[in-house]
Amino acid sequence: MLIYFVRHGESEGNRGEFHHHPNTPLTKVGIKQAEVLAKRLSGIHFDLIYASSQFRAKQTAEIINKKLNAPIEFWDELVELRTPTEIHGKKIDDKDIKIIKKVIRSNFIQGNFKYSDEETPNEIIGRAGRVLKHLETKHNNQTILCVSHCTAIKAIVAKVIFGNKLSPDTLLKMRDRLFVQNTGITICEKSEKYDWTLNTWNDMSHV
């Protein structure tokens, strides 16, 4: 089984450097990136496309699927790490927002700390595990495309690498030291011989 994880194209939040809300759309650049990615993937047979239910990922998946013409499902388990509602739409360099993010980061390794209504590290680790379990249970011997988000993809890959030993501390280190560019391709494989493996990270050769 091969799973292609793809980050959405450039969004208005990426370009404007503000914190996303669920309905943040792609920019014109992001739309073009998705079109280029669709061409890159058009020679691969995908049995199914899963896409995050957040708008920027849905847009990306729908643009890609104009070339692939595969079955497509929108899946909440692929959404981005949920951030506090208070910061949605706010500029990344806003002083008050920086204070909120500092509080969350300083408590990250606790695992279950909540500032308000955000997703905890333990919750996204659990969600990453559910994604992998679902894929290996429902899609054995298939090739699947998952259109998702930067931190969500990092969490899933961290779960691939560390399995049940993945901790909030390890996830934080991976989040800090790895980057997934817009429309970057990350490929994971599930096999009887090796179990889950990371085969490709953030392939951007299409742009």
The strand pair at 185-191 and 195-203 is best described as antiparallel
Predicted confidence band at 8 (pLDDT cuts at 50, 70, 90)?
A: very high
Q: Three-state DSSP class for 207? A: coil
pTM: 0.96
pLDDT of residue 21: 80
Q: Three-state DSSP class for 184? A: coil
| Residue given tokens 């951007």 in the structure block | 204
CATH number of the domain that 25 lies in?
A: 3.40.50.1240
Percent of the chain exceeding pLDDT 90 equals 95
Token digits of residue 165: 């030993």
**The domain containing residue 44 runs over which residues?**
2-203
DSSP tag of 27:
-
pLDDT of residue 84: 95
Q: What is the tally of structural domains in the chain?
A: 1
Beta strands in the chain (DSSP E): 2-7, 48-51, 72-74, 143-148, 185-191, 195-203
pLDDT of residue 207: 86
Amino acid at 135: L
Per-residue model confidence as pLDDT tens digits over 133-183: 999 999 999 999 999 999 999 999 999 999 999 999 999 999 999 999 999
- Rounded distance between C-alpha atoms, residue 5 and residue 187, angstroms: 6
Cβ burial of 88 (10 Å; 0-12, 13-18, 19+) is middle
Per-residue model confidence as pLDDT tens digits over 47-81: 999 999 999 999 999 999 999 999 999 999 999 99
